Chains A and B, each alone.
Chain A
């Protein structure tokens, strides 16, 4: 049977480790998003926005994991992986948005 993702021969398992790292980040965003909902009595609707941002990021990571592993495995095999600029910038922007919304919620 043909594998659904390209394999690589990297003994350091770089694609696995990187995808797992994204997975841990996804889990933390999910956890923090769920905890924000718990604080709805204190912050009201702000928590919905905070949770929505967390859910968007976690969902985005989840939906791109297979593509990410495939791209990185292919890159390892080819000896060239393009830096994932868009994912890094999107994650940073989402974290900044969470911080700004958190500040507004606390100061409101």
Chain B
């Protein structure tokens, strides 16, 4: 590890001080971020799809609500992915423990609620 490498302006501003971590960890963090972005993208596309193609399953107001909630979860995951990537980068540079993955319980909760809502609506209709 080396200290104070040459960085871009944006990188210097966001990643502040600390020692440059092992490059393998930096790349692993980048891949994890990308996996979360793909998850967020699936939620976004799914939310739009629900509104377009689930007219036979869900009545109008419920369909829109489910769609908005699904897209909202996708938005939260994408923001959470970026924040987690940044927090992990900072933690690695400063030798601190890695932060708790708050978007994992968020994702689990959202999936559970979505499943429950869909099951209830399918049973009721």
Contacts and interface: CB of A to CB of B under 8 A. Distances in A.
A92 B78 contact: yes
A10 B24 CA distance: 9
21 contacts: A10-B24, A21-B30, A21-B35, A22-B34, A43-B48, A80-B20, A80-B23, A82-B5, A82-B26, A83-B11, A85-B11, A85-B15, A86-B8, A86-B10, A91-B33, A92-B79, A95-B37, A99-B75, A102-B74, A103-B72, A106-B67
Q: Secondary structure at chain B's binding surface: helix, strand, loop or mixed? A: helix
- Give the contact-size bracket for chain A: 35 or more
Contacts of B51: 42, 106
Interface residues of B, number: 47
Q: Which 8 A-B pairs have the closest CB atoms?
A: A81-B23, A99-B75, A95-B78, A92-B82, A42-B52, A21-B31, A14-B27, A18-B27
A66 interface: no
Contact of A99 (B5, B44, B89): B44
